[in-house]
Amino acid sequence: MAQQKVLGWEEIADYFDEKQGDEGDLWHRELINPTLLRVLGNVSGRRVLDLACGNGALARQLARKGAKVVGVDLAPTLVARAQRRESRPAPTRSGPLGTPLGISYHVSDAGDLGLFGDGAFDVVVCNMGVLDMTDDTAHRAFKEAARVLTAEGRLVMCTQHPCFEGNDTAAWVVEKLGRTTTVWRKVARYREHYEMVNNWRVAPGQFLQTISYHRPLSWYVRSLREAGLAVTAFEENEPTEEFILQDNEGAWIKDVPLHCVIEARKLG
Ligand SMILES: C[S@@+](CC[C@H](N)C(=O)[O-])C[C@H]1O[C@@H](n2cnc3c(N)ncnc32)[C@H](O)[C@@H]1O
């Protein structure tokens, strides 16, 4: 089966690992992860597969909550960075040396999880990963998630909100009328499927690109269903007070969500 090319993730792996650090950057810690963790609920003792795990920041959080975590990602250097963080844990509040968390990481395409047997996991989580997969790969990833989940298992994923985010096709509009300021979110080409180029400023004056994919919300529900998964929860990420204080977009995102969390369970 043809593998999806790692579009820039291999090239930006070192930058991304540093940006995310041990526990994720501001956007992950204070906007993306809190809603995702709330939907995940108690993961203690659960076997969790972190799909498109990046540098393992979420995998570590889940392992610290008692989950037995396996992480996979298509970019070998990101997997190596995650493994390095596992074997050389960051200092913790209780002492200068952390302890390894028992996480194993593998290089694998989310659309072909041949490394794992049927029903091997209670939870498959995918944090900001599905949007970086083509429609075909994402659909295969949903099918593979359904296969590796137990009968009661669930897939929980966080992604860009298809209704409000689309890089060049969505923007904030700040309108001042007299003493009133209104911030609007304008959106175009919602129903289309298209590629989005993400520019990462890896060094002053140096940009690298990754590609992500827009498709309408209905596509997700349909594709999940065709893969044997039914949507059982849908949440829209809310920024914490800390995020609102630290990021200019915070108050606007409180009003209009740019991310969503989808939970899907295996159909009987
Ligand atoms: C935005 S990053 C998110 C990483 C991590 N989950 C996080 O939240 O920090 C997207 C990740 O998806 C991975 N990825 C893209 N396509 C993939 C595929 N087909 N299979 C597995 N991983 C993939 C990339 O290598 C990258 O690590």
pLDDT beyond 80 at 70: yes
Query: Which residue, chain included where needed, has tokens 């190596």?
Result: 80
Task: List strand residue ranges (DSSP E) for 108-168, in order.
Answer: 121-127, 149-160
pLDDT at 100: 87
CA of 66 to the centre of ligand 1 (A): 23
- For the stretch 150-177, pLDDT in tens is 999 999 999 999 999 988 899 999 999 9
Residues 6+ apart with CB under 8 A from 162: 190, 214, 215, 216, 217, 219, 220, 260
Mean pLDDT of the chain: 94
Q: Which atom of ligand 1 is nearest to the CA of 57?
A: 9
User: What pTM was computed for the model?
Assistant: 0.95
From the options 3.40.50.150, 3.30.70.141, 3.90.1570.10, 3.40.50.10490, give the CATH code of 13-161+215-266.
3.40.50.150
Q: Which tokens go with 222?
A: 């349909």
Q: Which of 19, 51, 74, 105 to mutate to test the pocket of ligand 1 (most atoms within 8 A of CB)?
A: 74
Residues 6+ apart with CB under 8 A from 150: 119, 121, 122
- For the stretch 239-258, pLDDT in tens is 999 999 999 999 999 999 99
- For the stretch 124-158, pLDDT in tens is 999 999 999 999 999 999 999 999 999 999 999 99
Cβ(157)–Cβ(262) under 8 Å?
yes
* pLDDT band with cut points at 50, 70 and 90 for residue 91: low
* DSSP 3-state of 213: strand
**Does the beta carbon of 127 sit less than 6 angstroms from any atom of ligand 1?**
yes
Return d(Cα 60, Cα 40) in angstroms, integer.
14
What are phi and psi for residue 49, nearest 5 degrees?
Answer: -105, 120
